[in-house]
């Protein structure tokens, strides 16, 4: 089939889903445009910061559109492009977008609380502790997988191909400029106050062009190990600095770059309109990947549904929403755009496939070279196209990394919070464990240890944990909706299916790790740590799911139904 037809079908389906299903959910749950959001009632200049709709959308999209929507569909394409496309569309509309919007909605309606604190309110303290421990372990997997990916795209030394080394070095240079310019942009906005959105957009795009030009002329060459250390240092800053100073301006500028990447890919497909060179369906079993169920679902991951998104929705975005009417666009809409990115990635790998087989290389390199080829056909110089795409794919992971570092730090802190957040009433040990600097260092340290295994080893475990987190969040949201008298039955099938998928995948991964350990071929820092994390995730998943499901099917409507 022609790839352009696939893109058009996907766009129509996704837009229709947003217009009809997304708005129907918003109407059923209730949106109060006059209500004061947590961004105003708890404004503190750090986490709770009232922001414009597009600013919050850009943060949400940049944070959730990590490596997943590119990596997942490309890896899963070995089962054929039709199963992947169907899951991207169905999963995106009825699983992922519902969870993202639901987590954002529940958090805004509960004073900007994280999913863990919401679980404590509607399910109990034990459920909250278990959930926060699960979340913290999950963030370690994300840090490990994405740090390895980003560092790999920045490597500029020890490469045989000088062109690749230059592209990587230039992308690395632009990324470092991004951090510096984001801080300056944030300070300017703080000084000027509320900036006209059009002026703000023009300034952001202008800064992007300047950074791109400077980065191409001044590439930075360093080894992968050096970049891992540099990325960890950046994550420390992203975790502890105020939202308005680094993450929001960085995500705002990055969104325009992502938009350029998606538009460039779609226009390139219009010009080239290649056919899909991948098989429609290759069968239920694959020699390398395993069975389509559950592997397809946990591999596609973020492009269809991702538990990580709920942590962004309730951890950061809910604290910056200025008006409840912005929630459908931020929560449901950002996921729709991510699903479209997943479809674009699928079409790109289909276009560059040879004899029904995807090219060799990492998913990032396949996607980057594929879209760069489209841009070259449009007249863009090959060097510029290659650097731009290398920058984009690294930014996909980096913008998720800074969010997950902050969320991991907050999850660790919440693990040790008692009944109060007042430091004067805490024990000396509590003060240390809930200190944001200490929590950040501990989180990044264990994330670094898992990074030593490389993303190829971590990704299957990350995918399973990610989908299990989504299942747990969907159950918790069902409890919230039922307790507050809102429509929640639409979440029952997604949560049930994701529980079955993820526990099956985790059991398979655990069995494989045990076999490695038993055969004496395992390295502790790779297989050993992953085995420990896998077992912990399964145990915690069962305990949290049991607590939530028992509450869900034993809870009646709360007389304290919140005002819509």
485 and 557 in contact (C-beta within 8 Å)? yes
113 and 121 in contact (C-beta within 8 Å)? yes
413-462 pLDDT tens trace: 988 887 666 777 788 898 999 999 999 999 999 999 888 877 777 777 77
Q: What is the pLDDT of residue 555?
A: 52
25-83 pLDDT tens trace: 999 999 999 999 999 999 998 889 999 999 999 999 988 987 779 888 999 999 999 99
Mean pLDDT calculated for residue range 529-541: 83
Q: What is the pLDDT of residue 420?
A: 67
DSSP string, 87-103: HHHHHIIIIIHHHHHHH
Q: What is the pLDDT of residue 264?
A: 86
Query: How would residue 112 be classed by pLDDT, with cut points 50, 70 and 90?
Result: very high
Q: What is the pLDDT of residue 364?
A: 80
- Positive or negative torsion for Cα 445, 314, 364, 87: positive
Phi-psi region for residue 112, left (φ > 0), alpha (ψ -120 to 50) or beta?
A: left
396 and 423 in contact (C-beta within 8 Å)? no
**Three-state secondary structure call for residue 11:** helix
146 token code pair:
């994405």
Burial (CB count <10 Å: 0-12, 13-18, 19+), residue 494 = buried
Q: Is the pLDDT of residue 558 over 60?
A: no
Mean pLDDT calculated for residue range 10-24: 97
**Three-state secondary structure call for residue 365:** helix
459-517 pLDDT tens trace: 777 777 888 899 999 999 999 999 999 988 999 999 999 999 989 988 888 888 888 88
Q: Per DSSP, which regions of 134-268 are E strands?
A: none
Q: What is the pLDDT of residue 42?
A: 94
Q: What is the pLDDT of residue 561?
A: 46
Higher pLDDT, 21 or 164: 21
Q: From CA 498, how far away is CA 496, in angstroms rounded?
A: 6
Q: Is the pLDDT of residue 92 over 80?
A: yes
């Amino acid at each position: 089939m022609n790839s352009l037809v696939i893109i058009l079908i996907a766009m129509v389906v996704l837009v229709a889903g947003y217009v009809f299903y997304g708005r129907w959910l918003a109407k059923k749950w209730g949106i109060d445009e006059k209500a004061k959001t947590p961004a105003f009632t708890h404004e503190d200049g750090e986490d709770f910061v009232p922001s414009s709709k597009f600013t919050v959308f850009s943060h949400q999209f940049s944070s959730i559109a990590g490596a997943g929507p590119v990596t997942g569909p490309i890896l899963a394409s070995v089962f054929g492009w039709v199963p992947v496309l169907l899951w991207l569309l169905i999963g995106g509309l009825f699983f992922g977008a519902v969870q993202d919007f639901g987590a954002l909605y529940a958090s805004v309606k509960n004073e900007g609380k994280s999913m863990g604190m919401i679980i404590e309110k509607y399910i109990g303290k034990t459920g909250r502790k278990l959930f926060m421990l699960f979340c913290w372990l999950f963030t370690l997997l994300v840090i490990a997988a994405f740090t390895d990916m980003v560092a790999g795209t920045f490597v500029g030394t020890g490469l045989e191909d000088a062109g690749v080394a230059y592209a990587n070095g230039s992308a690395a240079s632009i990324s470092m400029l991004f951090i510096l310019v984001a801080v300056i942009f944030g300070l300017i906005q703080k000084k000027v106050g509320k900036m006209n959105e059009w002026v703000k957009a023009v300034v952001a795009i202008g800064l992007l062009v300047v950074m791109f030009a400077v980065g191409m002329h001044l590439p930075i060459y360093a080894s992968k190990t050096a970049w891992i250390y540099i990325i960890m240092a950046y994550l420390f800053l992203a975790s502890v600095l105020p939202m308005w100073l680094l993450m929001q301006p960085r995500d705002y500028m990055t969104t325009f770059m992502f938009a350029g990447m998606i538009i460039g890919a779609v226009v390139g497909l219009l010009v080239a309109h290649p056919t899909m060179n991948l098989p429609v369906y290759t069968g239920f079993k694959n020699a390398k990947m395993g069975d389509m169920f559950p592997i397809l679902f946990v591999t596609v991951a973020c492009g269809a549904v991702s538990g990580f998104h709920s942590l962004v929705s309730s951890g950061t975005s809910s604290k910056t929403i200025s008006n409840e009417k912005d929630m459908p666009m931020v929560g449901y809409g950002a996921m729709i755009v991510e699903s479209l990115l997943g479809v674009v990635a699928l079409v790109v790998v289909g276009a560059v496939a040879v004899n029904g087989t995807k090219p060799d290389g990492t998913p990032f390199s396949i996607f980057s070279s594929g879209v760069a080829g489209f841009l070259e056909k449009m007249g863009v110089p090959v060097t510029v196209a290659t650097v731009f795409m290398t920058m984009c794919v690294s930014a996909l992971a980096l913008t998720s990394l800074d969010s997950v570092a902050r969320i991991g730090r907050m999850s660790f802190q919440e693990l040790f919070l008692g009944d109060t957040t007042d430091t004067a009433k805490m024990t000396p040990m509590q003060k240390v464990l809930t200190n944001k600097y200490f929590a950040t260092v501990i989180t990044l340290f264990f994330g670094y240890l898992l990074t030593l295994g490389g993303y190829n080893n971590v990704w299957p475990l990350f995918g399973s944990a990610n989908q299990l987190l989504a299942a747990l969040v969907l159950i918790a949201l069902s409890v919230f909706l039922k307790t507050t008298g809102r429509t929640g039955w639409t979440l029952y099938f997604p949560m049930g299916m994701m529980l079955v998928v993820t526990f099956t995948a985790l059991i398979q991964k655990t069995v494989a790790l045990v076999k490695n350990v038993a055969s004496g071929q395992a390295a502790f820092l790779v297989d050993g740590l992953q085995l420990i994390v896998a077992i912990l995730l399964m145990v915690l998943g069962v305990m949290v799911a049991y607590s939530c499901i028992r509450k869900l099917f034993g809870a009646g409507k709360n007389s304290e139904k919140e005002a819509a």
